[in-house]
């Protein structure tokens, strides 16, 4: 699975002009399931995100996790993270999980996040969404967890 993590001061996602998920300070996480991913990849990715030390401690050093600072999580599905741009100018998305598997893994990821963290908001799988954020830092970190990744 792939995630693009953005440390934010606030973020929200809209569908058809209506806000469906919002957080204050925390992490906006764009999530993509790839072919071959399963529940274990989703769980490993979530564990890494929850413990990733990208918030400042009292000395200003990135040494605290989203759990340490009690920040929010806004989880948004985004299959375009699996884009292959190696050939030509039109990205290919063959590496992305098929929609049914992508939905199942995204929903599993969200359910596990809600069980492990007190503030979790989401986008809507497969919807045309507008994501609004105030990036803090900016801090933006890509993560990939796969069957062969550690």
From the candidates 19, 80, 93, 130, which is the catalytic residue? 80
Element (H, E) at 21: strand 18-23
Active-site residue flag, 109: no
From the candidates 6, 55, 78, 122, which is the catalytic residue? 78
Torsion of CA 50, 55, 61, 62, to 10 degrees: 40
CA-derived radius of gyration, the chain = 15
From the candidates 55, 79, 109, 122, which is the catalytic residue? 79
> DSSP label at 123?
-
Active-site residue flag, 19: no
Check the CA dihedral 50-53-59-61 and report its sign: negative
Catalytically annotated residues = 78-80
């Amino acid at each position: 699975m792939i995630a693009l993590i953005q440390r934010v001061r606030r973020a929200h996602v809209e569908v058809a002009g209506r806000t469906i998920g919002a957080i204050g300070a925390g992490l906006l996480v764009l999530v993509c399931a790839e072919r071959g991913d399963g529940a274990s990849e989703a769980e490993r990715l979530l564990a890494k995100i929850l413990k990733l030390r990208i918030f400042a401690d009292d000395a200003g050093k990135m040494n605290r996790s989203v759990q340490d600072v009690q920040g929010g999580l806004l989880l948004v599905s985004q299959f375009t993270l699996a884009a292959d741009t190696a050939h030509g100018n039109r990205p290919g998305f063959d590496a992305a999980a098929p929609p049914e598997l992508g939905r199942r893994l995204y929903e599993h990821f969200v359910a596990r996040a809600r069980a492990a963290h007190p503030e979790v908001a989401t986008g809507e799988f497969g919807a045309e969404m507008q994501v609004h954020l105030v990036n803090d830092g900016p801090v933006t970190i890509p993560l990939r967890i796969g069957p062969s990744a550690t």
